[in-house]
Amino acid sequence: MKKSSGESSSKLDRKTVERNRRIHMKDLCFKLGSLIPPQHSKPSNSKDTFSQQNQLDLASSYIKQLRERIENLKERKEKAMRLQLGIDANSTIDADNAMTVRSRLPVIELKDSGSVIEVMLISGLNKNFMLYEVIGVLEEEGAEVISASFSTVGDKVFHSLHAQVKISRVGVETSTVWQRLQDLIY
């Protein structure tokens, strides 16, 4: 019995599909191998190359190392946040909940760039100061407020003020501004 031409063309199609699949998989393995940093993928002999299975094993172990590193960094961040908030490092309260329970609001940030001063205030919704009072402090200390804006995100209000020194020869004593803002806000 002779095989029909339909069967042989079907067999060729399957071979072509399988060959294309192998080529595609080989390309994907190469791409995966290229994502691994050289210090993690050096073969023992510089002329050796890794088989596809070795590349997959190497990628798997590298991903596991990255996951462990992420967990370690998360723990370090958590401990640092606890220390910053004054919470016992072994406490069962997580840092995110601690931020809401005992946040250190308001926060003042003052940047002096010579003739320009930027004030960033972060406060809660129940802040105990008025924005015009902050502007007053800046103007009394020799700065002219160029722009002031605020935005509310969740239960926090972000105030941003940009001021320019009125008389450049005299300037503004930022330590005095800082202290007066501290007195006003806290």
pLDDT tens digits, the chain, 186 residues: what are they? 555 666 777 888 999 999 999 999 999 988 888 888 888 766 555 445 678 888 888 889 999 999 999 999 988 888 877 776 655 555 554 545 444 434 577 888 888 888 889 999 888 887 777 888 999 999 998 899 999 998 888 888 889 999 998 877 667 788 888 889 888 887
13-40+49-102, CATH topology level: MYOD Basic-Helix-Loop-Helix Domain, subunit B (4.10.280)
- For the chain, give me the number of helices (H) and strands (E)? 6, 4
Q: Where are the domains of the chain?
A: 13-40+49-102, 107-184
DSSP-based helix, strand, coil % in the chain, nearest 5: 55, 20, 30
- The pairing of strands 156-165 and 107-112 is unpaired
- C-alpha radius of gyration, the chain, whole number: 31
> What does pTM read for this prediction?
0.44
DSSP symbol at 175: H
From 3.40.640.10, 3.30.70.260, 3.40.50.300, 1.10.10.10, which CATH number describes the 107-184 domain?
A: 3.30.70.260
**Rounded Cα–Cα distance for residues 171 and 117 (Å):** 10
